[in-house]
Chains A and B, each alone.
Chain A
Amino acid sequence: MAVSLFVLPLIALASNAPWSSLGQIYTSPVALDALRISAIASITATLICVVLGVPLAFVLARTDFPGRRIVRALVVLPMVLPPVVGGTALLLAFGRRGMVGGPLYDATGLLLPYSMWGVVLANVFVAMPFLVVTVYGALRALDRRPEAAAATLGASEAYILRRITLPAIAPSVGAGVVLCWARALGEFGATVTFAGNLEGRTQTLPLAVFVTLGSDRDGAVAISLMLVAVSVTVLIALRERWWGQL
């Protein structure tokens, strides 16, 4: 029964899909615009997450400082926070009248909402924890003895990091990157609240599904199907990591 709960909706989606006009829908301007924005925003967000998130995971896993547990909890918070709440918080912080966004706009005229950077920021906010948590877990579980042995043999810290630590956690970083990207690709709530919705500028695939559902049902189902396909691909790609260990 539990399995049918997951499988039935997928069957319903597939049986309602406008199979014969899929090609036409996927090449329509709305779908192409949304695909382009989703691709650029989710990949950019993932790169930012790697640059910021991997060092953060190292700091959290390898160093001890007062309030480390609090920082760790704050990092995980966006995973359990409703995305709409995240979007509202982002708007209050980085919106045109926001705590940081207000002075920024007055000084430079720079505006994050209603722009691609707004979408990227919303994506980073919700997706980075997935990368940080995955890399953090790998670092904590890592056998430290090879590192210690290398150090006694005179290897520099940078050399140990490059030749021992990073190769050892590489599979976890890879899994974290895929998870992070998949979460960014599927982001809806924070994006629509913070960045708004405009075709060709901020309308990502999930936003296109929600907004076109009222006017173009076939289009919405077709785009949904595309997103399900991506999710399934991610699951298959990571099956060894998740299911292999159970």
Chain B
Amino acid sequence: MFDHRFTRCVTGLFAAGVLIGALGLISCSEPARQGSDPTPSASDRGDAATVPGLRSGRLDVFAAASLTDVFTTIEPMVARRLPGVDLDVNFAGSSTLREQIIAGAPADVIVSANRQIVDDLVDGGAIDGAPTVFAVNSLTLVVPSGNPGEISSLDDLERSGLLVGVCAAAVPCGVLAQEYFAARGVTPSIVTEEPDVRTLLAKVISGELDAGFVYRTDALAKSEAVEVVELPEIAEMTTEYVAARVAQSTHPDAGQGFIELLKDPQVQAILLDQGFVLP
């Protein structure tokens, strides 16, 4: 009897799971919603120490997956320079971030690895103020330590049986890779298009892929686990990192403070150190 009840309980849970799964997919198609909170008036500004306009103390930053290391490094600096601000970063592929914001996710700032993503949001009226370009990244080819696939040139990438990974065409690093292949006229033997650059990098590090097209900064961050293969003119495939305030943000001043901090010499030094180029 117990077993029968158990079965029914489990099947019931499954039914709930199906609905929750559907809900997850559907939440992406909810229409964009403007914040109902009024933006603070000019008289609220001026007190830099307490960061006006910040009520909950939490600043939600939606950032491209490739910024994971940078943002982790600058977190203590944010705490020092923007007192009272509790930085909360949501990392994902830039196109996922765009969809989340269109769907009304509570973001204050978006930091995208591609200008187009922010431009789309500007067109949709989801952005306040002018977007700020604060860093530039470039495409690079990485292989696991020891280069098991013995890749040294572009032609090697077309060898059948080789496991080459790229980012999906919907995310900036995937766009760059496809542009590069088109420009050089090559068709690498691609076996997977990963949803974001970090999962791609992880598969190269673990040796599940022979090579992957990632950012220069990813290659530098994991230089102990991957090797860079120099390819012609690949460094010219660049993407701009753009930060912008989300229109529905409930603390725009804190958001603006965060964006200005990205142009700060100290942060720019960290960006350079991690392999970014300054605009």
Contact A16 B31 (CB under 8 A): yes
B152 adjacent to chain A (CB < 8 Å): no
Is the CB of A47 closer than 8 A to any CB of chain B? no
| Number of A interface residues in the complex (CB < 8 A) | 57
The number of chain B residues with a CB under 8 A from chain A is 46
**Chain A proximity mask over B168-191: 1 for CB below 8 Å, otherwise 0:** 111100000000000000000011
Collect the chain A residues with CB atoms within 8 Å of residue B203's CB. Answer: 196
Closest Cβ–Cβ distance, residue A22 to chain B (whole Å): 14
In the complex, which residues of chain A have a beta carbon less than 8 angstroms from the beta carbon of B96? 213-214
Residues of A within 8 A of B30 (CB): 9, 12, 16
A179:B192 contact, CB within 8 angstroms: no
A235-B206 contact given A196-B194, A214-B95, A227-B25, CB 8 Å threshold: no
A220 to B28, CA, bound (A): 9
Q: Which of A78-105 contact B (CB under 8 A)?
A: 79, 91, 95-97
B193 with A197: CB separation less than 8 A: yes
Q: Which of A32-40, A136-144, A146-154, A157-165 contacts B (4 or more CB under 8 A)?
A: A136-144
A12 B29 Cβ-Cβ under 8 A:
yes
Question: Which residues of A approach B to under 8 Å, CB–CB?
Answer: 5-6, 9-10, 12-13, 16, 61, 76, 79, 91, 95-97, 111, 113-114, 130, 133-134, 136-138, 140-141, 175, 179, 182-183, 186, 192-193, 196-199, 201-202, 209-215, 217, 220-221, 224, 227-228, 231, 234-235, 241-242, 245
* B216 lies within 8 A of chain A by Cβ: no
Which residues of chain B have C-beta atoms less than 8 A from A213's C-beta? 28, 95-96, 99, 170
Does B79 have its Cβ within 8 Å of any Cβ on chain A?
no
Interchain CB contact under 8 A, A114 and B163:
yes
Name the distance in Å between A12's Cβ and chain B's nearest Cβ: 5
CB–CB B170/A96 < 8 A: no
Q: How far is the CA of A61 from the CA of B163 in the complex (A)?
A: 44
A-B contacts, 14 of them at CB < 8 A, read A12-B30, A12-B31, A16-B29, A16-B31, A95-B206, A130-B11, A136-B7, A141-B3, A192-B194, A196-B193, A196-B203, A197-B194, A197-B195, A224-B25
Could you give, for residues 23-66 of chain B, a 1 whenever the CB lies within 8 Å of some chain A CB and a 0 otherwise?
Answer: 10111111100000000000000000000000000000000000
Q: Contacts A141-B1, A182-B18, A197-B168 known; A114 to B29 CB distance under 8 Å?
A: no
Taking CB atoms, residues of chain B closer than 8 Å to A228 are 22, 25-26
A227-B22, A242-B12 known; A113 vs B208 contact (CB < 8 Å): yes
Q: Which B residues are in CB contact (< 8 Å) with A134?
A: 7, 11
* Cα separation A111 to B209 with both chains bound (whole Å): 11
Q: Which residues of B contact A (CB under 8 A)?
A: 1, 3-4, 6-8, 10-12, 14-15, 18-19, 21-23, 25-31, 93-96, 98-99, 163, 165, 168-171, 190-195, 199, 203, 206-208
Q: Which residue of A lies closest to B28 (CB)?
A: A213
Return the contact of B163 from the options A6, A96, A197 (Cβ within 8 A).
A96
Q: Is the interface of A mostly helix, strand, loop or mixed?
A: helix
Query: Which residues in B have their C-beta under 8 angstroms from that of A12?
Result: 26, 29-31
A178 CB, nearest partner CB in chain B, Å: 10
* Known contacts A137-B3, A242-B12: A215-B169 contact under CB 8 Å: yes
- Given contacts A140-B4, A211-B168, could you give 17 more A-B pairs where the C-beta distance is less than 8 Å? A9-B27, A10-B22, A12-B31, A13-B22, A91-B208, A97-B208, A114-B192, A130-B11, A130-B14, A134-B7, A186-B18, A196-B165, A196-B194, A212-B170, A224-B29, A227-B25, A231-B21
Interface centre among A5, A76, A96 (most CB of B within 10 A): A96
Cβ contacts under 8 Å, A202 to chain B: 192
What CA separation (Å) do A9 and B30 show in the bound complex?
8
CB distance from B28 to the nearest CB of A (A): 6
Please name all residues of chain A whose beta carbon is closer than 8 Å to the beta carbon of B22 when the two chains form the complex: 9-10, 13, 224, 227-228, 231
Q: Are A245 and B171 in contact (CB under 8 A)?
A: no
Say whether A198 contacts B192, CB under 8 Å.
yes
B191 lies within 8 A of A198 (CB): yes
A137 in contact with B29 given A130-B14, A215-B95 (CB within 8 Å): no
Which residue of chain B lies nearest to A80 when distances are taken between CB atoms in the complex?
Answer: B13
Which residues of chain B are near A130, meaning CB under 8 Å?
10-11, 14
Nearest first, the 8 closest Cβ-Cβ pairs linking A and B are A214-B95, A137-B7, A196-B192, A214-B170, A140-B3, A9-B26, A114-B191, A141-B4
Interface core residue of A202, A228, A245 (most chain B CB under 10 Å): A228
| Residue picked from A196, A209, A241, most chain B C-beta under 10 Å | A196
Whether B195 lies near A210 (C-beta < 8 A) is yes
Residues of A with C-beta under 8 A to B29: 12-13, 16, 217, 220-221, 224
Interface residue from B4, B170, B207 paired with A97 (Cβ < 8 Å):
B207
How far, in angstroms, from A220 to B95 measured CA to CA in the complex? 13
Give bound CA distance, A197 to B11, whole Å: 29
